């Protein structure tokens, strides 16, 4: 709707001008970022190492983990919220999803790795290793063939244990490496 106080050419320009997110939306985004930051305090040091956090944020999260006073904890959570405005919240959330075993992304990764493992063990699927090498060219072919032989031998004995797990872990690691190298692409073809 045009402003009647503006000339026609300025009124059209005024209608199409974008004013940015509303103040309420900015507050919701800031609160959500603060919640992500505060949730980091529930993680251990090893997990925090895997996240793209600035040194200041990492230190603030570690301080929050040590604080026992309710008032001091509230101030520290607000400080973390302030620091989160300078962080790449989407990258942190994506890294958290990758680490969450129940996330849809990890469920797909798990299913894909299981499908590849089963195909590599299946005696009737001689082309599986070729397809895997084509999809994941950085794989150590010699190691993959050795893991495949061991897992097939284990399957012939109708035992599923160490060799099968080793093959699965190698396949999953290769799929994760390919995903991390090309995050915009899908996770392989299988």
- Dump pLDDT digits (tens) for 62-101: 999 999 999 999 999 999 999 998 999 998 988 888 888 7
Domain boundaries, the chain: 10-99, 104-181
72 CB-near residues (< 8 Å, 6+ apart)? none
pLDDT digits (tens, 9 = 90+) for 1-53: 555 565 555 555 555 678 888 889 888 988 888 898 888 999 888 888 988 99
Exposed / middle / buried, residue 170 (Cβ in 10 Å: 0-12, 13-18, 19+): buried
* Entry pTM: 0.56
Per-residue b or e along 144-166, where b marks 16 or more CB atoms closer than 10 Å to that residue's CB: beebbebbbebbeeeeeeebbeb
pLDDT for 189 equals: 43
Domains 10-99 and 104-181 share a fold: yes
Which architecture characterizes domain 10-99 according to CATH? Orthogonal Bundle (1.10)
Helix ranges restricted to H, 50-127: 55-66, 70-84, 89-99, 104-121
- Convert the pLDDT of each residue in 136-190 to its tens digit: 999 999 999 999 999 999 988 887 789 999 999 999 999 988 887 776 554 444 4
- Residue 152: half-sphere exposure toward Cβ, Cα within 13 Å: 16
Q: Give the whole-angstrom CA distance, residue 36 versus residue 30.
A: 10
The topology (CATH level 3) of 104-181 is Diphtheria Toxin Repressor; domain 2 (1.10.60)
Query: Residue 146 has which token pair?
Result: 């050795």
Token pair 């390919």 is at which residue?
A: 178
């Amino acid at each position: 709707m045009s402003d009647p106080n503006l000339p026609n050419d300025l009124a059209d320009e005024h209608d199409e001008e974008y004013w940015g997110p509303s103040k309420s939306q900015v507050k919701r985004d800031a609160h959500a970022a603060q919640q992500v930051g505060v949730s980091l305090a529930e993680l251990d040091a090893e997990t925090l190492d895997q996240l793209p956090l600035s040194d200041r944020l990492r230190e603030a999260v570690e301080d929050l983990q040590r604080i026992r006073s309710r008032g001091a904890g509230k101030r520290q959570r607000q400080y973390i919220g302030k620091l989160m405005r300078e962080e790449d919240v989407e990258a942190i959330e994506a890294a958290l999803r990758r680490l969450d075993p129940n996330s849809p992304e990890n469920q797909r990764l798990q299913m894909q790795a299981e499908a590849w493992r089963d195909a590599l063990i299946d005696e009737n699927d001689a082309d599986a290793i070729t397809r895997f090498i084509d999809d994941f060219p950085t794989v150590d072919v010699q190691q993959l063939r050795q893991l495949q032989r061991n897992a097939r031998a284990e399957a012939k004995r109708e035992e599923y244990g160490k060799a099968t797990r080793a093959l699965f872990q190698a396949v999953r690691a290769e799929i994760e490496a390919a995903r991390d190298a090309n995050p915009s692409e899908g996770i392989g073809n299988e």
